[in-house]
A and B are shown apart, each in its own frame.
Chain A
Amino acid sequence: MRLKRDIKFLLYCLIFYIVIFSLNRYQIIINDYILNIINLSLVYVILTVSLNLINGFTGQFSIGHMGFAAVGAYISGVLTTIIWKINPSNPLNYFLFFIALIIGSIASGLIGFLLGLPTLRLRGDYLAIVTLGFGEIIRTIINNIDYVGGPRGLLGIPKFSNFTVIFIITIISVLVIRNIVFSTHGRAFKSIREDQVASELVGVNTTKYKVYAFTIGAFFAGLAGGLLCHLLQIAHPTQYGFLGTIFVLIMVYAGGMGSISGSIIAAFGLTFLSEGLRFLLRWIDDITPTFTVGIEWRMVVYSALLIIIMLYRNEGLMGKREFKILIPEEEE
């Protein structure tokens, strides 16, 4: 009885999986290009939901999320590409790949923990500046380590991240974060967002819980980073810079601060929009021969989108609401 809704949720996921998988198999609508965008969207779901845990649910303003993703990406990438030199042709290597992913995630979570301990006493703008600095430090460090390719990036990463792998890991990540949000720990996070002083004075160890949120968020960012580099088969410092974080941040805001459902929709919507704009901008470029409209104009569209969201629907698409299917039954 108690698992009924969760089973329904998993069933929907299974149907989604089978539909996408078989359509792709026969290349109907879902060709490999579209499947790649779906894969990318799923990775962004993990990134967005985990950033939402820090920014939306706990109310801390972190803008160094891609720094954590970089840690996960490079550590797992180096393990599979340089140290173990494994490739997906042998199914047993997937086991090693998962270990590499977990090691990357744990390292990322550990860095989140170490960064959180001293900095989470800071509030608002100050925390934002520290996390911004952190992201840039990670990027600069990577840029200067020749072993991982430096500014050339880490090339030739084996393509372990296929649709099945990404899909399963995304579902697990979303469910884990959902289970945390709907528990006494999740309520502690939300109370910190609402009023930190009151939260402390009803017995919540606010510093500890902020570090918790940060560590968990960083862990999943690292996981997403690991998946991303094994999907794109390249890890490049520029992917993990400030703009990358802003891209995820826009998804969090667009979906709704404090809504997992919103984050999922926004991750899919904006990733597809991003690819759609690629065509749109190319087309505009073609019909306006006097000046070039580069792909970088996407960021202009995003910025405009963010301004529109903030002006007309500042709580985001979902606000703090969730789809019923994502609310655990015991909450009602």
Chain B
Amino acid sequence: MKTVLSLRNVTHYFGGLRAVNNFNIDLPEGALWGLIGPNGAGKTTIFNLITGVYKPTEGKILFEGKDITGLKSHIIVDKGIARTFQNLRIFNELTVIDNIRVAKHFKADYKITDSILRTKKFYNEERRIKEEAYNLLKIFGLQGRMNNLAKHLPYGELRKLEIARALATKPKLLLLDEPAAGMNPREVVSLMELIHSIRDIFNLTILLVEHQMRVVMGICERIKVMDFGETIAEGNPDAIRNDRKVIEAYLGSEGGRC
């Protein structure tokens, strides 16, 4: 199977602190993998490295075989990697549909002169963007809210909107950073179904960071466990569940590792 994303010996320092050490992953096409670990393990840092928010101190990041290490974020998005955020980063003062349309921005094929003069090209492109945005909102059941300001949406719908916005960039790889954070058990179940179905609808490869074990164990095919920037285990959910190192990282060891 084709590899979509590869991280090779990626190491990242914040000053003297080693946040990620020698991280490797080969994500095959169509996979749904999970990345777990206690707080401060370096999971979100991995996402920030992949999406170009930080530049790795050492190592290489390959997307579809091409080196994307150190590229600017918007170029990486253009290449086909989209993400959501652990703490929601919604454009609060924009309407729901505008949140989606911003993500279609770099695919809009008209220039600033077209918008000033309102050329035919402008109208055609705007119509296309609006249609696509509407269809996307429909998949998430948000079409009724499209003209509301995003800040007026309840929390669960904001989570959905953020995923929809990431999908609007037409990614090949979707990075979900704790999508279930702050959701109640019932919302979590419907979110899991949603993640499964969007993978099939949009032909995606998904990498997921999550705290809640039931989400990761429930939907991920393979799981990587991190602690203090190190990869401590890797395998399918069952193997991870019984891994001694993982249990130690989450619950502490029996002998009492002071």
| Bound: A190/B169 CA distance, A | 18
Q: Are A201 and B77 in contact (CB under 8 A)?
A: yes
**CB within 8 Å of A: which residues of B?**
51, 53, 72-74, 77-78, 82-83, 85, 89-94, 98, 101-108, 110, 112, 115-118, 122-123, 125-127, 129, 165-166, 168-169
Complex A-B: 9 CB contacts under 8 Å: A179-B116, A185-B112, A187-B101, A188-B102, A201-B74, A202-B102, A202-B166, A206-B74, A212-B112
Chain B residues contacting A298 (CB-CB under 8 Å) are: none
**CB within 8 Å of B: which residues of A?**
2, 176, 179-180, 182-188, 190-191, 193-195, 197-206, 212, 258, 320, 328, 330
- Interface residue from A180, A191, A201, A328 paired with B83 (Cβ < 8 Å): A201
| Bound: A202/B91 CA distance, A | 11
Q: Are A199 and B116 in contact (CB under 8 A)?
A: no
Nearest CB of A to B173, in Å: 13
Interface SS of chain B: helix, strand, loop or mixed?
helix
Q: Are A198 and B73 in contact (CB under 8 A)?
A: no
Q: With A202-B103, A203-B169, A330-B126 in contact, is A187–B89 under 8 Å at CB?
A: no
Chain B residues contacting A200 (CB-CB under 8 Å) are: 72-74, 77
Chain B residues contacting A183 (CB-CB under 8 Å) are: 112, 115, 122, 126
Q: With A179-B116, A197-B53, A198-B85 in contact, is A191–B94 under 8 Å at CB?
A: yes
Known: A190-B98, A191-B105. 13 other contacts (CB 8 A): A184-B110, A184-B125, A185-B115, A187-B101, A190-B102, A198-B85, A199-B102, A202-B77, A202-B105, A203-B103, A205-B106, A212-B112, A258-B93
Residue of A nearest to B76 (CB): A201
Q: Are B85 and A187 in contact (CB under 8 A)?
A: no
Chain B residues contacting A193 (CB-CB under 8 Å) are: 93
Q: With A191-B102, A201-B83, A203-B77 in contact, is A184–B108 under 8 Å at CB?
A: yes
- Interface residue from B78, B85, B92, B112 paired with A203 (Cβ < 8 Å): B78
| Bound: A271/B106 CA distance, A | 40
| Bound: A146/B104 CA distance, A | 52
- Interface residue from A179, A191, A202, A330 paired with B169 (Cβ < 8 Å): A202
Chain B residues contacting A198 (CB-CB under 8 Å) are: 85, 89-91
| Bound: A71/B239 CA distance, A | 70
Chain A residues contacting B51 (CB-CB under 8 Å) are: 201
Q: With A184-B101, A187-B94, A187-B101 in contact, is A201–B73 under 8 Å at CB?
A: yes
Listed residue (B72, B118, B122, B129) with the most chain A CB atoms within 10 angstroms of its CB: B118
- Interface residue from A191, A206, A330 paired with B123 (Cβ < 8 Å): A330
Q: Are A202 and B165 in contact (CB under 8 A)?
A: yes
Chain A residues contacting B169 (CB-CB under 8 Å) are: 202-203
Q: With A179-B118, A197-B53, A202-B102 in contact, is A190–B93 under 8 Å at CB?
A: yes
Q: Are A187 and B115 in contact (CB under 8 A)?
A: no
| Bound: A97/B98 CA distance, A | 41
Q: Are A195 and B123 in contact (CB under 8 A)?
A: no
Q: Are A188 and B105 in contact (CB under 8 A)?
A: yes
Residue of B nearest to A208 (CB): B74
Q: Are B115 and A204 in contact (CB under 8 A)?
A: no
Q: With A187-B105, A200-B74 in contact, is A2–B98 under 8 Å at CB?
A: no
Chain A residues contacting B91 (CB-CB under 8 Å) are: 190-191, 194-195, 198-199
- Interface residue from A176, A194, A197 paired with B92 (Cβ < 8 Å): A194
Q: Are A180 and B115 in contact (CB under 8 A)?
A: yes
Nearest CB of B to A157, in Å: 29
| Bound: A212/B165 CA distance, A | 24
When A and B form their complex, which 3 residue pairs have the shortest distance between CB atoms, in order from nearest?
A183-B115, A198-B89, A194-B91
Nearest CB of A to B63, in Å: 15
Nearest CB of B to A81, in Å: 31
Chain A residues contacting B85 (CB-CB under 8 Å) are: 198
- Interface residue from B73, B78, B123 paired with A2 (Cβ < 8 Å): B123
Residue of B nearest to A205 (CB): B74
Chain A residues contacting B118 (CB-CB under 8 Å) are: 179, 328
Nearest CB of B to A88, in Å: 29
| Bound: A35/B106 CA distance, A | 45
| Bound: A207/B112 CA distance, A | 16
| Bound: A184/B102 CA distance, A | 7
Chain B residues contacting A182 (CB-CB under 8 Å) are: 115
Chain A residues contacting B106 (CB-CB under 8 Å) are: 203-205
Chain B residues contacting A204 (CB-CB under 8 Å) are: 74, 102, 105-106
Residue of A nearest to B106 (CB): A203
Chain A residues contacting B92 (CB-CB under 8 Å) are: 194
Q: Are B74 and A203 in contact (CB under 8 A)?
A: yes
Nearest CB of A to B70, in Å: 15
